[in-house]
Structure 1
Amino acid sequence: MAILIEQTSEKEMKQDIYSDEENEFDLMDLLRKIIGIRKKIYKAAGIGLVIGFIIAVSIPKKYTVEVTLSPEMGNSKEGGLSGLAASFLGSGVTMADGSDALNASLSPDIVSSTPFLLELSTMEILVSKNEVMTLDTYLDEETSPWWSYVIGFPNMVIGGIKSLFAEEDEPVSSDKTGLGTIELSKKELKKIETLKKMITAYVDKKTSMTSVTATFQNPKVAAVVADSVVKKLQEYIIDYRTFKAKEDCLYLEKLFKERRQEYYATQQKYADYLDSHDNIILQSVRAEQERLQNDVSLAYQVYSQVASQLQIARAKVQEEKPIFAIVEPAVVPLEPSGTSRKIYVLAFVFLSVCIVIFWNLFGKDFLNKFEEVRA
């Protein structure tokens, strides 16, 4: 039994040795084949180098600027200005706290919204020392790779032919507030879609930090746009947060003027009655005098309560304004973002070499066998 086990183990060892020798032979044979086609590999590397260089040069450089801010939003403000005003004016005078119309998580939706980008496209930017243009005009100055023009050439031809037979007046972008709609031309819609790709916002759910990025071919333009987006985003959020408080404040100001006028009128009427019935001692005169005095007291109480609510509303407008802390401001980048040109060149060289090696070692044999099967 032991002899059989030893013989079996010897056979397995011999098989392992043979398999190792076959693997070494296969690797050496593969290496000899690769060395045999080294001239083709050199040519493929040269072609890949040229193609990679052309592709790398054709892709325009882009610069990305990121601004990080930390908004203070959605916090209860029981000890704020409105609470302080209420404590001075009396605990019975309060104003209801409504839910926030906007929070930090909606920043990406605001930045990518059409009204926001339409307003942003009208901003003026300093492209160079002596050249100022709107963002909408600058978008026409940015270049694209040559193959994008080749791919889009058929559409340009079709569009040109259509324009010869049908004249269409491009609608001017206008906000129809009555209908709540925005009408855009094809050119404007295309620019809005382009801006959505160039300008993005991201909110970290854990830290609530908002990051705004702007990517353009001009580094100064990228920095200016990123800074403008942050400022306009702050304005949007402040307007949303303070809208209800401002509406309440305007209503109370109107009510305050009405109650004040009513109180002054009632007080004047009471004073005139006292002057005209100064020396008359009659029960009916005393009753009328008491009634007018009660009207003055009631008008003053209403007037005083509205005045208190108005002071609280004015404090609430300031209280509702969120605070923004700019953690990382807009800095003009010195280096372009995205994939380096060297990576493009190396990638095409590597891809060309791999294609040549695969074709010569496996592709030709596979094609010959396929033709033999068909024959």
Structure 2
Amino acid sequence: MSDTPDNPVNSLEVEKETQNKNRDHHSTADRSEEEVDIWDLVAMIWNNRIYIILFAIAFTLIGLFHVTYGPAEQYVSNAVLLQETAGSGSNTQRLLQQFGGAFGFSTSGGGEAGRISADLYPFIISSAAFQNEIIYEELNFSTFEEPLTLHEYFNEHYEKPIRDSVYDLASKYTIMFPFTVIDFVQGISFTEKEKDSVEVVEYDDRILELSADDQAAMTELTERITVTINGNLIDVTTQLPDPEAAAMLNVLVIEKIQEYITEYQVEKARNNLEFIQRQYERAKQQYEQAQNELATFLDQNVNISTNVARVEEERLQNETNRANNIYNSVAIELKQAELRLQEETPIFSILQKSRLPTTSVGSSYQLVVVFAIVGAIIGLMYIFGVGIFKKTIEEIQLKAV
């Protein structure tokens, strides 16, 4: 009896069963490989845990140094300032709208045009021109009998923390080493004889000239003033090693902010007021002169009734009336300019006065824990990096063979 041909249905079932077995086999192999990879990774970390420990210890020591040899005492003072906006609801604006038309005043509002946004205050305070004024203002220090400027304090009395000196020295001879070499070479080439031959240049008043001591004092000051803006609320925080000086610096910064903003915003209105005042004085003189000429003519021509006299009297009367109209118009403009100057003047309210700090603040030793964690993470990254490097080298060598 001959062999019967294979049933196609049975063949398909056998093929599917084979594919399912292969798929299960590959899935089991992939899971085994993943488990092996995870356990290999855990084993690699455990076998090299010494690096994690060493990096954590190293960074813990750095953290201890950073906290221990930082600024010993720092006193913080803060105040809260409110800048009120002069919009359509201000008293002056309402006065112009209610009575301006009856007396010839313009009732168009100035709005907020030309006003400095409070968001720009941090940039103003960090500017060189603003800080250059601050460092030359005298402050009272509880540790000194006489008031000192911040320029004198930072350049003659303040001692930088050991931490900052070490960091500066480390950066000078590591990442900043090329610039250190350039400065050294320039210092050798620029001899004392050449220094004496340099002509003194007088700069324009529009150019801000800063010395090295100025820049050093301003660098220290920049780190000690913080301005936070929340709508119209301005929170000013200052920090110095002396409590009284910290509070005085806070007061000084607030006063300078008000002075700077007021000067900027009312400058245009003030210039306009000064111009109108000059025009007012001129119109007043012309009006008084026309009045005097008319009065003199009338006194000299009491009993004269000629046509020439009447024409001259009418001409002088017209001149007086015209001068009077100009004088009244300029007087209205002058009053309006005075009101506009008041409208443009920003209003500041002290919600919280500068407080005299009673306790010092400093770096917390909790920062050491952060350093330790960062060190452990870097140690872990070091282990992974070395492992990846070794595996890459092995694959390159296998391919080369």
After superposition, residues 92-107 of structure 1 pair within 5 angstroms as 100-104=113-117, 106-107=120-121
Match of 1:288 among 297, 302, 312: 312
C-alpha contact 2:82 2:350 (8 A) present in aligned 1: yes
C-alpha contact 1:64 1:337 (8 A) present in aligned 2: no
C-alpha contact 1:82 1:316 (8 A) present in aligned 2: no
Q: CA RMSD in A?
A: 4.7
Gaps of 5+ in 1: none
Deviations 1:278-301 (A, max 9, x none): 334444333333333333333322
Paired positions, count = 367
Match of 2:136 among 117, 122, 125: 122
Q: In 1, distance between residues paired with 2:213 and 2:200?
A: 10
Q: In 1, distance between residues paired with 2:66 and 2:315?
A: 93
Change in Cα spacing, 1:19 to 1:99, as seen in structure 2 (3 Å) is: closer
C-alpha contact 2:55 2:376 (8 A) present in aligned 1: no
Match of 1:167 in 2: 195
Output the TM-score relative to the length of structure 2: 0.68
Match of 1:323 in 2: 347
Match of 2:338 in 1: 314
Q: In 2, distance between residues paired with 1:24 and 1:189?
A: 61
C-alpha contact 2:71 2:362 (8 A) present in aligned 1: no
Q: In 1, distance between residues paired with 2:41 and 2:67?
A: 33
Change in Cα spacing, 1:159 to 1:232, as seen in structure 2 (3 Å) is: farther
C-alpha contact 1:67 1:212 (8 A) present in aligned 2: yes
Match of 1:51 in 2: 62
Larger mean CA deviation between 326-335 and 78-87 belongs to 326-335
Match of 2:167 in 1: 147
Cα displacement (A) at 1:50 = 2.1
C-alpha contact 1:214 1:226 (8 A) present in aligned 2: yes
Match of 2:265 in 1: 241
Q: In 2, distance between residues paired with 1:257 and 1:222?
A: 49
Output the TM-score relative to the length of structure 1: 0.72
Deviations 1:301-335 (A, max 9, x none): 22222222222221111111123456777666965
Match of 1:133 among 139, 143, 148: 148
Q: In 2, distance between residues paired with 1:174 and 1:81?
A: 48
C-alpha contact 1:214 1:223 (8 A) present in aligned 2: no
Larger mean CA deviation between 53-62 and 130-139 belongs to 53-62
Aligned-residue sequence identity (percent) comes to 25
Q: What SS does the corresponding residue of 1:184 show, helix, strand or coil?
A: coil
Cα displacement (A) at 1:45 = 3.7
Match of 1:181 in 2: 207
